[in-house]
Structure 1
Amino acid sequence: MSRRYLLTVLAASAALLTTTANATAATQPLSSPRIAAHFTLSAGQQPENITVGGDGSAYLTFSFARQIVRVTPSGRIHVLATLPAPAKANTPNLGKAFVGGIARADDGTLYATYATGTAGLTGVWAVPRGGRPHRIAALPADGLPNGLALDQHTGRLYVTDSVHGVVYRLPARGGKAVVWAKGKALEPSSFAGANGLKLHNGAVWATNLDKGTVLRIPLTARGTAGPIQVRATGMPSIDDFAFTGHGDTLLAARDDNQVDLVRPDGTHTPVLTAADGLQTPTSVAVHDHTVYIPSAAYLTNKDPNLLRAHLDR
């Protein structure tokens, strides 16, 4: 979810395109980037978040089309669900209904966050395989539920709220969502705070879009949140991310047409840019030796797409 979607003007767009025109192409550990699927901007096909199935199919949220879709390895798009439209959306920061994070269970159930600014629809939704979408948990209508992660071992979901700057936890089977983690590191400074979200190596990891940080929140033996640790800084407009393997190295999408490789010591370097086809990248997924990066074109208003690249381990 991009701050610049709302704040940019034509002059800023032109400046960004000028800056990225001379950017370098993919660098290690990524190689052979290619656009695997092009989406239709006029139809609202702007991919916000991604998870990947065992066969290499990408499951995406189309944020403003209110859709959850599957993109086959050959690039074909199948709409799996369209979430109901509010009578009048009043979503904080955005104004319109927004489908954000996505997670997939082993049984094929898909989960997604949905923000509308209305009490009847805002929350976490589930789409059983072959079933209809339904809300499993309500979240505050004055918030912006965004990133989503599933812990299949405990049957719990974790959600970031970019406006309230907290992490919620709730049962995947449905039920009440409670604030699991909060603190200054998660809060916004101007537009949006806690954003991307992953579970990894005994911790919940999150990004803060406004502050350009990667955060690690340890899971204690009781399942509560430990002290928030800042693991990387200096990445303006950072969105969602994915780990490259069992270690703490990760790839982070930034809405300034860049994907950064972030090392365990917090240093980071760009590995993909607009020269590779990025158009406001929003999230990252890693499956085997393939990296998937959806671009929503929030800023560029041009060619929303799904990029794939090879990951050298």
Structure 2
Amino acid sequence: MFSSGLRRVAAGLGVAVLLTATPPAAASPGTRLGEVRTLARFDRAAGQAAESIALEPGGGALVGMIPARQVVRVAPDGTVEPLVTMPLPPDGGGTTPVVGIPVVTGVARSDSGARYFLYSSGRGGLTGIWQLHRSGEPRLVVPLPADTMPNALVIDAERERFLVTDSTGGRLWQAPLRGGGASVWSADPALAPSGFFGANGLKLHDGAVWASNSDRGTILRIPLTGGGGPGRAEVRATGLAGIDDFDFTGRGNEILAAINQTSQLVRVAADGTRETLLDADDGMQGTTAVVVRGNRAYVTNGANLSGDNPNLLVARLQRRAHPAD
């Protein structure tokens, strides 16, 4: 979910600041945003550029941090608690693909409460899927090749596997949920980068794997075959240059997309049309991830090369009826 090409934004947000997204005069049908509040602010000076979100019961969240190499927990009251800081590789991580620094990226939480995260370090034995035990000690459960850039992590509970985007390799990897070796699940050309990052965000939805491609500005749908393999990728949305993570709103295939490059939260309708809901004028700074739960959307701003206010926002979703509803 980490991406480049970010613009400098001067606007900042206070912890207690409330934002209200104002729809255009002739608002189109679909999901809108009501109150938007800042749940937590992070320490940019310490490298806490918020990157990814995994929600916990009760309103808490796990957030991956680059380049602090951390996973932190945000309590429902906004308290931030670092859970793990990954060690630097012996060479400092300079061989990490494209970015040149070791980074913690995607985070995920299983239904049983197990916590997982991705670490990309440019070295074998460190790069891969890690599990965070309650003791606080991390354990490498799925090693990935040193030349991969694992970015988004999804748990496919039905098939007892992990799915991971490899942004520089333009691939999706799979690995057993119990741990062990990984294999390439899809290397469809639509996942490939065209200069920096290809496959980035990742979701399971409606019998398919969905992925974003940052360089190409697309959202892809890859149908699942009967055996859980990949069909051919279909482009379902375009014109989203610099897209990072995304999630579904609960209204069919309607999507909220985090656009890192332009610091925006964009609503993408099922037909691929787009509408900006929040932007830099609302305090967005290098928007990296979005997760929807019920009538709430959780959004991270990484402020990575853009602004100085990394944070976690919570927005209330308002459903507007389609004419056919």
Fold equivalence (TM over 0.5): yes
TM-score by length of 1: 0.92
CA distance in 2, matches of 1:34, 1:277: 11
Write the letter of the residue equivalent to 1:161. Answer: D
Report the Cα offset of residue 17 of structure 1. Answer: 5.7
CA contact (8 A) 1:145 1:159 kept: yes
Query: Paired residue for 2:236?
Result: 231
- Identical-pair percentage: 45
Whether 1:117 and 2:118 are equivalent positions in the alignment is no
Whether 1:217 and 2:218 are equivalent positions in the alignment is no
CA contact (8 A) 1:33 1:276 kept: no
CA distance in 2, matches of 1:292, 1:32: 12
Helix, strand or coil for the counterpart of 1:222? coil
CA distance in 1, matches of 2:180, 2:120: 18
Runs of 4+ in structure 1 over 6 Å off: none
- From 281, 289, 292, the equivalent of 2:287 is 281
The one-character-per-residue Cα deviations of 1:164-202 (angstroms, maximum 9, x if unpaired) are: 100000011101110001121100001110000011111
Write the letter of the residue equivalent to 1:290. Answer: R
RMSD: 1.6
Given the superposition, is the C-alpha separation of residues 151 and 129 from structure 1 closer, same or farther in structure 2, using an over 3 Å criterion? farther
Helix, strand or coil for the counterpart of 1:135? strand
Query: Paired residue for 1:271?
Result: 277
Query: Paired residue for 2:51?
Result: 48
Query: Paired residue for 1:312?
Result: 318
**Which stretches in structure 2 are left out of the alignment for 5+ residues?**
12-19, 24-30, 320-325
Report the Cα offset of residue 275 of structure 1. Answer: 2.3
Query: Paired residue for 2:247?
Result: 242
Query: Paired residue for 2:27?
Result: none
Whether 1:64 and 2:67 are equivalent positions in the alignment is yes
**Which stretches in structure 1 are left out of the alignment for 5+ residues?**
6-11, 19-23
Q: Which range moves more in the overlay, 186-195 or 129-138? A: 129-138
CA distance in 1, matches of 2:255, 2:114: 26
Report the Cα offset of residue 128 of structure 1. Answer: 3.0
Query: Paired residue for 1:9?
Result: none
CA distance in 2, matches of 1:121, 1:76: 29
Query: Paired residue for 1:107?
Result: 112
- From 144, 149, 162, the equivalent of 2:154 is 149
- From 258, 283, 289, the equivalent of 1:253 is 258
Write the letter of the residue equivalent to 2:37. Answer: R
- From 32, 45, 49, the equivalent of 1:29 is 32
CA distance in 2, matches of 1:281, 1:128: 29
Report the Cα offset of residue 26 of structure 1. Answer: 4.8
Query: Paired residue for 1:3?
Result: 4
Write the letter of the residue equivalent to 1:193. Answer: G
Question: Equivalences for 1:85-104 in 2 at 5 Å?
Answer: 85-88=88-91, 89=93, 90-104=95-109
Query: Paired residue for 1:21?
Result: none
Write the letter of the residue equivalent to 2:35. Answer: S
